[in-house]
Amino acid sequence: MIILDAEDLKNAHISISLIFINIFMFIIFNMILPQEYLLLLLQNNLRIINYLEIWRLFTAMFLHGDAIHLFSNMVALLIFGAVIESNKYYSKLEYVLIYFISGLIGNLFSLVLLPPTSLSLGASGAIFGLIGAVFIIIITKERSLLFLALIYILYFVFSSFTPGTNPWAHIFGLLGGIGLGYLSSKIKDKKKQEVYY
């Protein structure tokens, strides 16, 4: 079911764990350590290109610019993550893979499409991947919600073009989640169709 209740939110263990990690990282890198440490881990396209500091594509997913950025991302992570966890359409491993691979896809396209001098950080690409994965659940299990889902996706995509937002992480994270969710659904369909003699 796509509708969430308090029990679904309480049982969203992976999502809650990711939220705690993000909050912990925010406290350490935005409130305790000097800003220089944050600069070592965020996505700095020049450093990635010139010095092959590719870990930044991963570590940037756990960093946020300010409390509002963190809060909005964590609310979205809780909602869409809880939908995935309560639905049980994807395994726990699939959830984790969708989250991190979508985030990496979003950051890789940001590396290619943003100016080389760009700095980027945030969990948005990974969270948009979860939104894409939820879209696949709706297509396969809750078709009556398809129109509403398309409206939400269009809203999220258009809101990605506000100043200071990384639209490429959002768009390609979303496409990554849709692609990975679709791949997972096809694997499930194939397993259902296997005939044993």
The amino acid that residue 124 corresponds to is S
β-strands 119-120, 43-44 pairing:
antiparallel
**Distance of alpha carbon 72 from alpha carbon 66, whole angstroms:** 10
Task: Render 133-169 in DSSP notation, one character per residue.
Answer: HHHHHHHHH-GGGHHHHHHHHHHHHHHTTSTT--HHH
pLDDT at 193 over 80: no
Asked if residue 107 is part of any domain, the answer here is yes
For residue 28, the domain's CATH number is 1.20.1540.10
User: Nearest-CA neighbor of 38 among 26, 46, 24?
Assistant: 26
CB neighbour list of residue 137: distance below 8 Å, 6 or more residues apart: 2, 83, 84, 87, 89, 181
| Residue, of 113 and 88, whose pLDDT is higher | 113
pLDDT in tens, 16-73: 999 999 999 999 999 999 999 999 999 999 999 999 999 999 999 999 999 999 999 9
Which pTM was predicted?
Answer: 0.93
Asked if residue 83 is part of any domain, the answer here is yes
User: Nearest-CA neighbor of 11 among 87, 75, 94, 123?
Assistant: 87
Asked if residue 193 is part of any domain, the answer here is no
Q: What is the domain count for the chain?
A: 1
User: Nearest-CA neighbor of 43 among 98, 124, 97, 159?
Assistant: 124
Asked if residue 23 is part of any domain, the answer here is yes
**Distance of alpha carbon 131 from alpha carbon 76, whole angstroms:** 9
Asked if residue 196 is part of any domain, the answer here is no
Catalytic residue (one of 15, 64, 69, 170): 170
DSSP state letter for 29: I
Asked if residue 197 is part of any domain, the answer here is no
Mean pLDDT of 166-183: 97
Mean pLDDT of 136-159: 88
**Distance of alpha carbon 122 from alpha carbon 127, whole angstroms:** 10
Domain extent at residue 109: 6-187
Asked if residue 1 is part of any domain, the answer here is no
Residue 170 known to be catalytic: yes
Catalytic residue (one of 15, 124, 160, 185): 124
**In whole numbers, what is the pLDDT of the chain averaged over residues?**
94
